[in-house]
Structure 1
């Protein structure tokens, strides 16, 4: 059976990995004033757009996900012929309408695919499963890597589906933002009151950085530390501890809102890389998507992995 994997462009994974495994992207369009860019995870275009626009007006950006009709057209135009079963893994439904759009599109796709497949010489049925990863950015990538691994190992559709749905419940995403004023301005622009003015002002004045935890569709602070480097080092240390105690998949995904050389230079990151190597864990590093950067600001760090219940500390 030919199994396809589809993700939205907010999912942070290395471009080489996406291309090598024929992962299909649902691009998200970003508009800042008159500047418009469809986020196809092109690193050069993302960095160019970032340096030109995001620092000044990124919080004003409008992010436009693929519509129901665009998702339907993508599947009927290509995917129902290229694959027999497709897993569409989306950013958490609590933060984006992409999951709902994909679910709505799936009904039309399953109603309309038969003549298209028959014309291409495929008489077998086509199936589609939309899965809410219940997480964001690098943490989305954990399930995608597992789907690729299981597909390569010859797992059945049912085995892959059950595994991905299980992982969605146990994936943890942690983020340290650089600029709380930016995060607050962006939250206000989207009608999200989770970052108050007082906390942003105090955090900036005292150089206090929160560590935000994404899990099962919810995001909340789990620590507040003085200094960005102190906060990221604590995050890396906690990740190393989880690696040492055992992850549910041999995967850690990391994304950064800027040049990866800056990520590599952060205190504690070399130890994280060494821990991954010592315990047989694959470390996937990527430039954060443009979609991610306009939502959380330049220079943010996100780490994602799958593990059982634990405390940050």
Structure 2
């Protein structure tokens, strides 16, 4: 049975990793200063966005989930003829309509796939599951990487879904927003009150760089620093120590909303690389995608790993 994995473009993964494992990217529409772009995680287009500075005014941008009709069309053309079963993992349902729209599209696909399968010369039934990852950015990427390992075990579809949903609760993310003015303005324009805890933590001192830590969208401020570099060093020290202590999956996912020279110069990155190599862990290092960067702001960083429950400061 051929099983395909679908993620949306809020999921940050290295492009070469996605290509190697034939991960299908469900696009997201981005509207920036009135111009429409389709984010398909094309690395060249992403690099162009950074070079042209298109994301610097991201609080004037909006992202739009593909409609159920658009998703239905993509699934029928790209997924049904190729796979016998598909797992679609979406960005956290609380942050986007992608889950709801993909779920609606799945229902119409399941009612109409037989003719498409027959035309493609595929025998047997087709099945599909849409799963709320409960994650964002690098966290969603980590879940996708772990899911590939579960698919290789050839679990029954119900067991596979259960394992994915259970594992998601073990994922912990660290987020460092580069510009709190950006976060505040984006929230104001969207009417989003979810950043109230961050604003309360920072008060009026928007020059402070916070470290947010927790499960998926429930991350809370756990440290405040006076520079982005200091915040990055804290996160790298934490991640390296946590890797040495043991993980639930042999991956660490790290996405950065900056150019590759800036990424390579991040303080503590070599320390994390060495810890991963020492422990047989693959570091999934990627440039933050267009969708992710619009949401959290260019220059930001997101790291995810899966481990037993612990506190951020336990590994400083």
TM-score, normalised to structure 2's length? Answer: 0.92
1:19-168 alignment to 2 at 5 Å? 19-168=19-168
Judged with a 3 Å threshold, the aligned counterparts in structure 2 of structure 1 residues 230 and 64 are, in CA distance, closer, same or farther, namely same
2-structure distance, mates of 1:306, 1:183: 26
For 2:48 and 2:110, the matched residues in 1 are separated by 39
Is the Cα contact below 8 Å between 1:210 and 1:221 reproduced in 2? yes
Alignment map for 1:1-313 (pairs within 5 Å): 1-195=1-195, 202-204=204-206, 207-313=207-313
Query: Does structure 2 retain, via aligned residues, the 8 Å contact 1:135–1:214?
Result: no
Q: CA deviation at 1:220?
A: 2.3
For residues 232-287 of structure 1, give each alpha carbon's deviation from its aligned partner in whole angstroms, at most 9, with x where no partner exists: 11111111222122111011000000113212212211111100000111101001
- How far the C-alpha of 1:156 sits from its partner, in A, is 4.2
Q: C-alpha displacement at 1:218, in angstroms?
A: 2.3
Contact 2:258 2:288 in 1 (8 A): yes
Do the aligned residues in 2 keep the contact of 1:32 with 1:53 (CA within 8 Å)? no
For residues 47 and 304 of structure 1, do their structure 2 counterparts lie closer, same or farther at Cα, with a shift above 3 Å needed? same
**Structure 2 contact 6–88 (Cα < 8 Å) conserved:** yes
Q: Deviations over 1:60-112 (max 9, x none)?
A: 10111111111111111231121110000111111111111111111111111
- Alpha-carbon distance in 2 for matches of 1:133, 1:308: 18
Q: Give the Cα separation in 2 of the matches to 1:120 and 1:42.
A: 27
SS at match of 1:308: coil
Distance 1:122 1:254 in 2: 38
Q: CA deviation at 1:201?
A: 7.0
Where structure 1 has 5 or more consecutive residues not aligned to the other structure, the ranges are: none
- Partner Cα distance (1:187, 1:4) in 2: 35
Contact 2:174–2:219 (8 Å) recurs in 1: no
Whether the 8 Å contact between 1:236 and 1:272 is mirrored in structure 2 is yes
| Structure 1 contact 7–24 (Cα < 8 Å) conserved | yes
Report if aligned partners of 1:240, 1:272 keep a CA contact under 8 Å in 2. yes
State the superposition RMSD in angstroms: 1.9
The answer to whether the 8 A contact 1:181-1:201 is kept is no
Q: Give the deviation of 1:217 after TM superposition.
A: 4.1
Cα separation, 1, equivalents of 2:166 and 2:181: 36
CA offset at residue 147 of structure 1?
1.9
Alignment TM-score, normalising by the size of structure 1: 0.93
SS at match of 2:111: helix
Q: Which moved more, 1:163-172 or 1:55-64?
A: 55-64
SS at match of 1:100: helix
- Structure 1 contact 12–289 (Cα < 8 Å) conserved: yes
Give the secondary structure class of the aligned counterpart of 1:203: coil
**Residues 212 and 198 of structure 1: CA distance in aligned 2, closer, same or farther (over 3 Å):** closer
- Cα distance in 2 for residues equivalent to 1:165 and 1:208: 35
> Residue 92 of structure 1 contacts residue 135 of structure 1 at CA under 8 Å; is this kept in 2?
yes
